[in-house]
Structures are given as C-alpha cells and as structure tokens.
C-alpha cells in the first residue's frame, strides 16, 4: 500500500500539507494508520503545476522521513495543484521510475492499491500500451502501466470514462489469468486544471480516501493529515470525485465494465 | 534505536542470520518487536572477517528490506565472525558514514542506544579523539565518536576496561552539560578474534540483548531471530559478554566510572 | 559505451583486477582510453561465482570511483570466475536494474556496445522474450533484453549459437525499423564453468576486447588494465573466445545470421 | 576541482543556466574545459532564494548528468538569485552533506578549489568554528568549515572582510602544519540580497572565474556556459566581485592577511 494527497486551490506551499501537519504525509511514511502497513518507506514523489506546461516531478527512493531535499523543496515551492505520494511496494523494485506520481506531458497520475496477481498479467497489461506511448514506460510497476493504457484510451480528455474502461480491461486480464485476488484502486489524475480522484475495488475493500473543501481549495487524502475530523468526508467506495477551479466538487458513482 | 546481531563460531553464510530466519535482521528492519521503533530503515551495515587482516565493510543508506545487494552478498559471504546492523537514527543524518558497524584496522564496533543530549556534547565527545585517530572520523554520529575515543584508550587491547572508562568520560560530559537524559548502550566490539558485547544504561532501561550458544558458535542479538526461546538467554543489564573461539562464554558485571 | 573485465582461473581477489592495477576498472570508470567516452560513471556491477549455485551480484548506480563498498567487497571476495563492469549509459535510465552484469540462475551476462535505434525497436526486442522469462525483465535496457532473448534460445547450453541467432534477430528488427545505425557488441557470458566472450559489429567498429592467458588463468578486458602490452592479445573483430578450466583458450570466427 | 555558477538579477528559470546552454553546468559535470578534471561527478547542489527567508537547497550525490530530478526542478523553479555547483571531490566522501552550496539561515556559500593538506589541518579548521555554529557542521569537508568559521567572523555582515580574515587564519594553520601546498579559492557568498564572488590563491593559480552583466542581471561562472566570449570578463586573480540589485558591479582587489 501507499499513502497520498492531492490539492487543488489557492496556491499554497507544498509543506503546508506534506510536512507541517501532525499527521503529514511525511509522518504517514513511517506511521500510517489506515494503510496496509504503517511503513511507506519505498520512496516518495511530488508533482506540482507551476508556470510551465508540464508539471514538475521529484521522485526519490529514500524514505520520505529522512530526505532533507524533500523538506527544503516543499518549503519553497508554492502550487495551485499538486500531488504527493509515499510508497510501500507491492513487489516491484524500489527505483525512481517506480515511484509516483507518473507524468506524461501535462498529465499526472498516482495510485494506492494493488493489481491482483500483477506478475502474471504484467506482460498483457503492458500490451495495452500502444507503441507511441510505450517508450514512456520507464518502470516495471502496475500503476505506470494502468496510466499509460488509460492515456491511450482518452485519460487526458475524459478521465472517468477512460479509467473505467481501462480498469475493466485489467479486470479481464486478471480473470483470464485465473486470478482470485482483488483489484484495489484509490487514485488521482490531473490534466493541470481538474483533479479527478477514484475510489474503487473489485472486492469490498477499496483503499481509504477522504476529502475536504475549504473556501476555494479541495484536498484529497488517503488518511486525514490533521485531527479536524469534522471537516473530512469519506469518499464512498466505487465513487469518483472531480474538482475544478471555481466549481462545486462533484462526487458520482464510478463503475468498471468487467466484461471488456 | 537500532537492531543488530553479532556471530562468532564455525563459518556460516551471513544469510543464515541476516536474511533467513522468521525474524531475521532484515525482518527487524521493518518489524522490530523490542526496539524503540518497529522501523529501522535509516540504513544498514555488515562487517565480516575473512582472509584479510581488515574486515570487509558494507554500509548503505537504503532500508535493509529493499536492498537486493544485501541479500546477494549475505548469500555468498561465509564468515566465522561478523556483525550486522539496521539503523534507526537518533537525529544524525542518514549517510553511509553514520551507518554501523564502524571499522578501524582490524577493529569493528556497533551500537544500539543513545547518548543523551548528544548535540550539546558532540563537540566535547569529538575532543576525546586524539589527532591521530581524528582523521578516521568520517561521520557525525555519537557511536563513531565513542568508538574512536575508546580506541584511543585501549579498546583494541582491553575492550572492557577501555569502554568502561570511555563511557565514564561521556557520562561526565553529559553531567557537565546539565543533561538529564540517559546514556543507553548495547554494543559489540571485535578485534577479529574475540567478541565483546556490552549491555549498560545510566537508567534502568538498557536496550535488549540476547545470546545463545550452540556447539562452537555464539550469537548475540538485539532480539531473537527465531522462536526457539528456550535457547536464548538475556544478557543482564550492566553486564558484558566475552566470547572467544574454543573458550567458554564469559558473562561478567560491567560498570562505568561516572566521576572521570 | 562501457568497460568491463572477465576472469576465469585460479581464485584471486576481485581487487587484483578491479581496483589494484594502474588502469584498473575503477580507473577506467573515470579515465577510459579506448571507449566512446572516458567517463563510465552511470553505475557499476560485479558478479562472481563462489560456493553457491548462483553467482553473487552487486550492482550500484554510484560511479565506481566513489564507492567505498565496491573497494571493500573486492578486497574480501575471492573468486575463480567473475565479471566486473562500469557503465556509460546509451540512453536508458541509471538504475540498478540497468547495470551489468545480468544474472539468471547460474548464468551471467554483460555487454559493451549499442543496439542502433533501440528506442524504436525496444518493444519488439522485448517480444523476443517468452513469458516464462519475461518476469525476470527488471530493467528497460537493451542488454537485458538480448540476454533474456538469448536465454530463451539456448544461451545456457550453447552460448555461441544462441547469441549468433539472437543478434541475427535483433539485426532483423533494426532493419525492419529502417535503422541505419550499427549494432556493436562486445560481451561476456558464463554458466559458472566456461567463459564466452564475443566481439562483433554490424559495421567495422566493434568495441575493443583484449585477452591474456597466464598459467591457468584467462583475463578478458575492454582495455588492458596494465601496461604489460606484450602479454595482451586483441580479440579480432567478429570472433568469439571460449575459455574453460584446464583447457586451451579457443578463438573462433563468430558470425550473425542477418536474415532471420 | 568543481564548477559552479551564481546568478543575480531578473528572476529566471534555473534551467536557463544550469541545463540549457551548450556548455551548461550539467554539461560541465562531464566535460569541463578549464577545471582540474573534466569530470565533476561527485554530486551537485542548487540553492535559490524565493519567497522564504531561507533559500531552498537541493543537494544530491548522483552525477548531475544523470539526475532527472535536477532537470525537472530547474525547469520549474524561477529565482532572482541562485547558486548551482557540480562537485569533484578533493578527498572527502561523496555525501549530500559535503555537496555545495552550504546554507545557514539566509546565507549561502560555495567553493571551488582546495585547502592544501586539509586532512592535516582539518581539526584545527573545525576549531575555528565556535560552539554555537558547530552543530551546523554536518559534513567533513573544507568548504563547510571555512563557511562556518567565516560566519563566526561576520560573513553575514561584511563578507569581504570576514573571508579575508578567515582565509588568513587558514593560511596560518597550513603554515603551522608545515604544508607546502597552496590554498586555491574561487567562491561565492550571498545573504539573499548581494552576491560576493572571490578569486584568490596563495600561489599564482586561482581557479577560473568569469562574469557577465546583461541589463539588470549578473552571472558569475567557473567557465563560460556559452560561446559568447565577447560578453565574458575574467575576474582577475586576487579580486572580489560584488553585485547588488540596481547597482553597478564592483570589482576590487582582495587580499588575505597571512600572518594572523
């Protein structure tokens, strides 16, 4: 498992969420409460939108709790839309290329969960990525494969539909491989304008996701970074949240077509 | 806190203790039971005596649980006397130079515990290291400083006396600095022939140490690597264990002169 | 480009070749004379046969010239058959999984050279790897893909034939992709008993390889590690060298079937 | 030796100087022309002033040429005053704590050169650092020691005088230790407002420094990042350059009192 957070709103310093709160993401890298493991020490990553077309990406294999670069960077960088992720590997190697978030052009994506029996279907998941996108496959993990496959199916234009279809295809591969393990999927996507967060599982145990709206800002987290529990709302299983600047947050049912 | 193990006896593969048991040192790097923290992910180190005068040293900042080099090395290297350590930092940086064990010539040393108020007395601890040894000070931590100071006071020749005196001096520095924190000290030293393990604290909470003798081999651990609890003996607080090839294991009271 | 060395013979310390000579492999990591670049600082790797069925593997992304673990390990480990490699990336990421040598069971493989237009044919090269071996694909580079494809075609049983056929298939992929770049191939394989070294190119510039026999030992290098030039012989372009314990070194023409 | 650059002026992206030019700092990490070695692959560092009181610091041990985080960060971060440095170690370990620039509060400092016989006078150089600043000594190198000693002597308030006195003291230590090696010093300091660059040596071979003024911006480099040689001026040996926003660049003789 992993832990992550995504923010959209008035530009703030990344440290306001990644470092400062009592149960910040850095704190969660060693003491997560609701994840599969308390430790998420297999690397971390930041992605943030600034002045450029493409977001900045900073991914490192060191545990987040011991990286001074992470703290310095978060203290300096202000952003209106950013992702942060601490990783607990579900089997693939601890390399920068397997850390989240993943970026392609203006798109960013990160995930917490698992693809059941991934080693057995890894090859077929990679086959879902068309040639033109395959050169962007730098790692060996399931999240990157899902991201690139979904990009091929319109993730940049209509993330909800594209991800629903892509997860459906992955479920098909798992079924064809005779897997009895679940696909668990808490994830976030952005195109630099909107933030789309998914919470879905093929069983009844999707990884946790909470969200909070304060004035113009929306924050989505694996687990609350502070104790103001009154402000946090759970994202219901099998739902998707879409946040856009200046618009109300949308929460809708999200389904996956398993027969594709 | 940290976790470690030391072995003296018939040559065995390092993996037999570092990797293979149910509660191996690698397992303890993420799930320690008796340490201050379950996570000891701030680097690790191996030291082993082979054909050379000096022991081999392998120290790395990655968590032990995710380092494939560690596993491959342990599977290949056989040794009659070796140290292995997984680190949980008590404040100093996560760098190779701050990982244990420390080596100097044929001597090796590692530690689990803390020096109370170390930042306030760091400079005076370093002043205990004479010029000739100071160039070997590569890190910034308390363990290395204790090691080099004890080396100056005869650690290589009579480890028990040298360490007693050195810890006494450190206690004096802590007292002079007005510290109310304890000095906790579970440690191991070797000169390539004997293994000397210390368990001491200025309060009543020295870090745990267990040992077991099987035929010609002696194993000393922070916490048992397997469930054969009948075989493990606790090293009593304020005692020292000395093991030599072909001799009975000695366990004696160990004291520190606090007024030096 | 990269630089490497392979040794078969009376067990020696790895440091005798990797660290000690005037133009050791570590020296070549910063000052190579005959490679494409003087700098080979994109990681390094060691592989050595010891008591186990599988060889030990140690691969790291740091430049070889600044890694104290490498020096300590080489000083301690004695082996009758080992590989050492310092890497200059031809485009793929600097990660441990892209460092050489590659290992699978008892087999080891390393390479110096290039596969022309690799990014364009990467996917088709990976398709040469059957499912059962694909799970061992941990990196993203060309060498690992060649190795696993050749393993599928009998590299463990008859390395020369398997590699000839595999390179022929790679040439075919390059031709189909319309590439005008060369395939350059200096490489070494071992099954733990024999050492097979290849020197081939599709143009007239295969990377350099030299060899020397002294008593029972054979050493093959990208460039001589010392100045005893009288002892070094060049391996001619498009030739293969096979060394076995207790047998004469064989040097034979090596060809690649480009029409497969 | 090392290579560095410092910029003061209209805010620009760090990549405009660190990554983009033909002979950018990243290019100089592998192909420096005027340094002691072409390779400066023992780590790198960035320091930049933004919205905060303290500058951001990003230091890493990987060679600059292979670090994707460096490129991404430089592409995103815009600053009015920043330092960038690629390191070639003169003996001390390759750790983040030994990479430049060094920061303390609002002050930044970096250096290219050497302190002759540093290992022999290291301890006495450290003794120049008063207790209050000694806890900020995280590394083991000469540059950090000079920086902290100069901070104790007024570097933040009057950098030219403080550095002159500090270097004089270091020269005295070298003389007392019987050293015949030179002290070579190309360095940059900032307090977040002014940029002060030094070029001095105790022999006649101070490391190179060039500067260029374009409109409101001043750029100081170890070697020119582009070929517009008409625009670059050499900073003469034993001179100091001071740049402040909205003021003319000052270049004055800089001397060191060797008899202190």
Give the gap in angstroms from C-alpha A216 to the nearest C-alpha of chain D.
Answer: 22
Number of Cβ within 10 Å of residue A219's Cβ equals: 23
The residue of chain C with its CA nearest to that of B59 is C69
Does the CB of D30 have a partner CB in chain C at under 8 Å? yes
Does the CB of D233 have a partner CB in chain C at under 8 Å? no
**Residue A217 confidence (pLDDT) above 90:** yes
Listed in order, strand segments (DSSP E) in chain A are 3-13, 44-48, 56-60, 78-86, 102-104, 107-115, 183-190, 195-201, 210-214, 217-221, 233-234, 239-243, 250-253
What integer pLDDT is reported at residue C91 of this predicted model? 80
Residue A193, in any domain of the structure: yes
Best mutation target, A44, A74, A76, A101, to test chain D (most D CBs within 10 A): A76
End-to-end CA distance of chain A: 27
Residue A153, in any domain of the structure: yes
SS (H, E, C) chain C: CCEEEEEEEEEEECHHHHCCCCCCHHHHHHHCCCCCCCCCCCCEEEEECCCCCCCEEEEECCCHHHCHHHHHHHHHCEEEEEEEEECCCCCCCCCHHHCCCEEECCEEEEEEEEECCHHHHHHHHHHCCCHHHHCCCCCCCHHHHHHHHHHHCCCCCCHHHHHHHHHHHHHHHHHHCCCCCCEEEEEEEECCCCEEEEEEECCCCCCCCEEEEECCEEEEECCCCCCCHHHCEECCCCEEEEECCCCCCEEEECCCCCCC
How far is C-alpha C37 from the geometric centre of its chain's CA atoms? Answer: 17
A215: containing domain? 3-253
pLDDT tens digits, one per residue of B116-173: 999 999 999 999 999 999 989 999 999 999 999 999 999 999 999 999 999 999 999 9
Give the gap in angstroms from C-alpha D115 to the nearest C-alpha of chain A.
Answer: 28
Which residues, listed in sequence order, are joined to residue D58 by a DSSP beta bridge? D46
With residue B146 as reference, give the H or E element that holds it: helix B142-152
Q: What is the dihedral of CA A175, A181, A187, A189, to 10 degrees?
A: -20
The residue of chain D with its CA nearest to that of A52 is D76
Q: What is the percent of chain A with per-residue pLDDT over 90, rounded to a whole number?
A: 89
Number of Cβ within 10 Å of residue C226's Cβ equals: 15
Which residues, listed in sequence order, are joined to residue B60 by a DSSP beta bridge? B44
What integer pLDDT is reported at residue B125 of this predicted model? 97
Does the CB of A75 have a partner CB in chain D at under 8 Å? yes
Does the CB of B89 have a partner CB in chain D at under 8 Å? no
Does the CB of A93 have a partner CB in chain C at under 8 Å? yes
Residue A231, in any domain of the structure: yes
> Quick check: A66 and B30 CB within 8 A?
no
With residue B108 as reference, give the H or E element that holds it: strand B107-115
Tokens describing residue B152: 């100056």
Tokens describing residue D244: 């402040």
> Quick check: B39 and A42 CB within 8 A?
no
> Quick check: A59 and D69 CB within 8 A?
yes
> Quick check: A72 and D52 CB within 8 A?
no
What integer pLDDT is reported at residue D25 of this predicted model? 92
Tell me which residue of B62, C29, C138 sits closest to A60, measured CA to CA: B62
With residue B80 as reference, give the H or E element that holds it: strand B78-86
Instruction: Give the HSE-up count for residue B149: Cα atoms under 13 Å, Cβ half-sphere.
Output: 21
Neighboring chain A residues of C135 at a CB cutoff of 8 Å: 119, 122
Tell me which residue of C128, C67, C124, C132 sits closest to C96, measured CA to CA: C67
pLDDT tens digits, one per residue of A120-130: 999 999 999 99
Best mutation target, B43, B95, B96, to test chain D (most D CBs within 10 A): B95
Q: What is the dihedral of CA A147, A152, A155, A157, to 10 degrees?
A: 160
What integer pLDDT is reported at residue D48 of this predicted model? 98
Give the gap in angstroms from C-alpha D15 to the nearest C-alpha of chain A.
Answer: 12
Residue from the list B48, B59, B72 with its beta carbon closest to the beta carbon of C58: B72
| DSSP assignment of A33-102 | SSSSSS---S-EEEEE--SSSSPEEEEESS-GGG-HHHHHHHHH-EEEEEEEEE---SSS---GGGSSPE
Give the gap in angstroms from C-alpha D148 to the nearest C-alpha of chain B.
Answer: 15
Residue A111, in any domain of the structure: yes
Neighboring chain A residues of C139 at a CB cutoff of 8 Å: 140
d(CA A106, CA A157): 12
d(CA A42, CA D130): 39
Give the gap in angstroms from C-alpha B238 to the nearest C-alpha of chain A.
Answer: 32
Q: Mean of the per-residue pLDDT values for chain B?
A: 94
State how many domains chain B has.
Answer: 1
Tell me which residue of D199, D196, D5 sits closest to D83, measured CA to CA: D5
Give the pLDDT mean for B210-235: 91
> Quick check: A72 and D56 CB within 8 A?
yes
DSSP annotation of B130 reads -
What integer pLDDT is reported at residue A221 of this predicted model? 96
Give the pLDDT mean for A93-113: 95
ω into A101 cis (within 30 of 0) = yes
Contacts of A98 (CB under 8 A, 6+ apart): A43, A87, A89, A92, A139, A140, A141, A144
d(CA C198, CA C240): 5
Q: Please report, in tens digits, the pLDDT of each residue of chain C (260 residues total).
A: 799 999 999 999 999 999 999 899 999 999 999 887 899 999 999 999 999 999 999 999 999 999 999 999 999 999 999 999 999 987 888 999 999 999 999 999 999 999 999 999 999 999 999 999 998 999 999 999 999 999 999 999 999 999 999 999 999 999 999 999 999 999 999 999 999 999 999 998 999 999 999 989 999 999 999 986 669 999 999 999 999 999 999 999 999 976 43
Does the CB of B75 have a partner CB in chain C at under 8 Å? yes
SS (H, E, C) chain D: CCEEEEEEEEEEECHHHHCCCCCCHHHHHHHCCCCCCCCCCCCEEEEECCCCCCCEEEEECCCHHHCHHHHHHHHHCEEEEEEEEECCCCCCCCCHHHCCCEEECCEEEEEEEEECCHHHHHHHHHHCCCHHHHCCCCCCCHHHHHHHHHHHCCCCCCHHHHHHHHHHHHHHHHHHCCCCCCEEEEEEEECCCCEEEEEEECCCCCCCCEEEEECCEEEEECCCCCCCHHHCEECCCCEEEEECCCCCCEEEECCCCCCC
Residue C260, in any domain of the structure: no
Contacts of C166 (CB under 8 A, 6+ apart): C128, C146, C149, C150, C153, C155
Please count the residues of chain A: 260
Residue B259, in any domain of the structure: no
Residue B149, in any domain of the structure: yes
Residue from the list D37, D41, D68 with its beta carbon closest to the beta carbon of C63: D41
Place of tokens 């890190």: B139
Does the CB of A103 have a partner CB in chain B at under 8 Å? no
d(CA A186, CA A4): 9
Place of tokens 């693809």: A115
Give the pLDDT mean for D58-74: 94
d(CA B17, CA B165): 32
Neighboring chain A residues of C42 at a CB cutoff of 8 Å: none
Phi/psi for B31 (5° steps) reads: -135, 55
> Quick check: B93 and D93 CB within 8 A?
no
With residue B164 as reference, give the H or E element that holds it: helix B159-176
Tokens describing residue B139: 């890190």
Residue A259, in any domain of the structure: no
What integer pLDDT is reported at residue B35 of this predicted model? 82
Neighboring chain D residues of B95 at a CB cutoff of 8 Å: 93, 95-97
What integer pLDDT is reported at residue C227 of this predicted model? 82
Q: Mean of the per-residue pLDDT values for chain D?
A: 94
- Burial category of B43 from C-beta neighbours within 10 Å (exposed 0-12, middle 13-18, buried 19 and up): buried
What integer pLDDT is reported at residue A189 of this predicted model? 98
d(CA D29, CA C89): 15
Q: What is the dihedral of CA D30, D34, D35, D37, to 10 degrees?
A: 50
Does the CB of B62 have a partner CB in chain A at under 8 Å? yes
Quick one: CA dihedral C212, C214, C218, C221, positive or negative? negative
d(CA A217, CA A213): 6
> Quick check: D123 and B140 CB within 8 A?
no
Give the gap in angstroms from C-alpha C151 to the nearest C-alpha of chain A.
Answer: 18
Tokens describing residue C231: 């002892």
ω into D101 cis (within 30 of 0) = yes
| CATH number of domain containing A43 | 3.60.20.10
With residue B211 as reference, give the H or E element that holds it: strand B210-214
Tokens describing residue D55: 């500058």
Tell me the count of A-C CB pairs closer than 8 A.
30
What integer pLDDT is reported at residue B90 of this predicted model? 79
d(CA A141, CA A122): 8
Tokens describing residue A255: 């389904």
Give the pLDDT mean for B229-234: 84
What integer pLDDT is reported at residue B260 of this predicted model? 39
Best mutation target, C13, C47, C51, C69, to test chain B (most B CBs within 10 A): C69
Tokens describing residue C78: 């004695």
Give the pLDDT mean for D52-61: 97
Q: Mean of the per-residue pLDDT values for chain A?
A: 94
């Amino acid at each position: 498992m992993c832990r992550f957070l995504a923010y959209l709103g008035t530009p703030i310093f990344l440290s306001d969420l990644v470092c400062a709160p009592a149960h910040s993401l850095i704190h969660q890298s060693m003491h997560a409460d609701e994840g599969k493991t308390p430790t998420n020490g297999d690397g971390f990553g930041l992605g943030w939108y600034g002045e450029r077309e493409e977001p900045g990406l900073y991914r490192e294999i060191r545990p987040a709790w011991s990286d001074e670069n992470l703290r310095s960077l978060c203290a300096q960088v202000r952003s209106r839309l950013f992702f942060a992720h601490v990783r607990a590997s579900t089997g693939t190697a601890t390399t920068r290329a397997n850390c989240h978030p993943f970026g392609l052009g203006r798109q960013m994506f990160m995930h917490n969960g698992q693809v059941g029996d991934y080693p057995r279907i890894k090859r077929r998941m990679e086959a879902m990525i068309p040639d033109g996108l395959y050169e962007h496959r730098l790692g060996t993990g399931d999240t990157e494969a899902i991201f690139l496959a979904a990009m091929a199916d319109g993730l940049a234009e209509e993330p909800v539909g594209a991800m629903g279809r892509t997860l459906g295809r992955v479920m098909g591969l798992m079924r064809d491989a005779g897997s009895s393990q679940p696909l668990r999927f808490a994830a976030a996507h952005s195109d630099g304008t909107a933030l789309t967060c998914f919470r879905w599982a093929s069983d009844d145990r999707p990884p946790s996701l909470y969200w909070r709206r304060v004035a113009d800002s929306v924050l989505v987290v694996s687990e609350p970074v502070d104790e103001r529990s009154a402000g946090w709302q759970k994202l219901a299983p099998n739902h998707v949240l879409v946040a856009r600047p200046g618009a109300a947050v949308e929460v809708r049912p999200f389904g996956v077509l398993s027969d594709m």
